[in-house]
Structure 1
Amino acid sequence: MTQPAHVFDATLPRFEDEVLKRSLQVPVLIDFWATWCGPCKTLGPILEKLAAEFNGGFILAKVDVDAEQQLAGYFQIKSIPTVMLVKGGEIVDGFPGALPEGQLREFLKHHGVEAKPADEAAPAEDVAAPPVDPHAEVVRLRAAIAAEPDKDELKLDLVLTLLQTGGVAEAEKLLDALPANLATDERAVKARARLGFAALLKDAPPREPLLAAIAADPDDLRARHLLGVRQIVEGDSEAGLQQFLEMLRRNRAYEDGLAKKALIDAFRVVEDEDLVGAYRRKMASVLF
């Protein structure tokens, strides 16, 4: 039987490509179900109906827990149906049980998942903008804010630009003063991640002693973490991501999953989307 549009059966071998990588472009709703599950037979058709109605606003990945026991085990599925929402390569929310259609719509709305018009054209390819001198941009933004002091979006732009020029203290002060409606803005989240990295380096050793500590003991995960943070902050993004990935390989449970958290924060900070995508895949291959 042919499945509805925007619905597919997720399997472990293809999970990284079909769910994690795909969620970088479009939200993916995972439905853990089984053929013998009564509530699943109620929830499944509603989810498929919404997937069709939203026309690609989200993708529905169905996981048969009997056929994909390892995948269900990784997600620690205790009961079915269970639904999880993946955005940007991360699980952002979920719920057990069969919710009614109205609550499902509210769940999607809460996470910014919207239907696409039936005649929506494919988005045009982005045209690369010319490089901008961050110091000159700071000057421009200061002038723009002076002209429009109530325009908080400009202040958020200034926060991100200050972080590029080393103005950490001023950036943090501006970020803390932004209104609540901008607190969940993707740029504000990125700024918080950058500030978090900068705070970790306040009393951290320089690069050379950290390298020496790792050479003496490759399992010194504290040194690896600080070195990775320093490399990210100093612009050596791939080297920093490699340190976090090596932490994950050596001990994923270290300090309550610090390696995974560091990688996710780094993904918000690093500007090179291809590099971030490559390390998301590497992280997934270690975790799965």
Structure 2
Amino acid sequence: MSSPNPQNNPGAVLRGAVDLSSLRNRPASAEPGTASAAPAAGSLVVDVTDATFPQILELSRTVPVVIDLWADWCGPCKQLSPILEKVVTELAGRLVLAKVDVDANPQLAQAFRAQSIPMVVALVGGQPVPLFTGAVPEQQVRDVFDQLLQVAAQNGVTGTVDPGSEAAEAPDDEPALPPLHAEAFAAIEAGDYGRAATAYEQALAENPRDDDARVGLGQVRLLQRVQGVDLQAARDAAASAPADVDAQLTVADLDVSGGHVEDAFDRLLELFAAAGPDERTVVRDRLLELFSLVGDADPRVSAARRRLTSLMF
């Protein structure tokens, strides 16, 4: 997980690390701060496409816009997105969250250089501000957004969007979460991954076919394993001891958490091929857990399963 960049030198951060010129295409009549560029009242969280991105780019000249690059197959994305939405909603119009499905919007994915997801960047005055990649705890999201607001203020972007009454109301047709799932989500938002895991385990005990609880439990266990781990120290330890199973498992967890799914699978498959019988069992079990977390529909899981099968037999 990377650290947020917008800290001490906002001018440097805003020097076009990402080229968005090909996506601008804004109408000549659109002026910074005009109402036509803003989302409707209550739309603090909006879905953005390649076609509608120019409006969001203009909006960023009035209010900072957080860009959440995600995909449906990405487990860490599903963990992070509710946290982003919650924090943006609580800021009551000081930020807008724009969600980009990278699979459906390849032009935006390319423009933001989304090599791994979830990836979170911001737009301030039409310029990109890199924030972080991977699923991070709620408190870290809050800290990064506080820094983003400071960067925006230093660059003269201090407008707000009226959230309206809709922002405080859940859609009437949105189904309520089962009690144990709701307890798990509340625990995750509080950073209490142990309590969240217990809630999901209870849900699975009551209904072993509860796929949402199974995936949620896998995500929480991953977050437990990577919580507080220093990425560079973990990589250094793994590089210095290629046969150390625990060290390699840790880096693989960090890679999946950061969206580097193929890197994680390649690391563990190479480790499996070189490991002894007992260690092979440990590595295989972690691979199967990560496969479940990423999802069988992901082509990277299919490819890794085939490699694992060929190594086993």
TM over 0.5: no
Smaller-chain TM-score bracket: 0.3 to 0.5
Q: Which has the larger radius of gyration?
A: 1
Per the normalisation by structure 2, the TM-score is 0.39
Q: Which has the higher contact order (CA 8 A, sep 6+)?
A: 2
Return the TM-score normalized by structure 1: 0.42
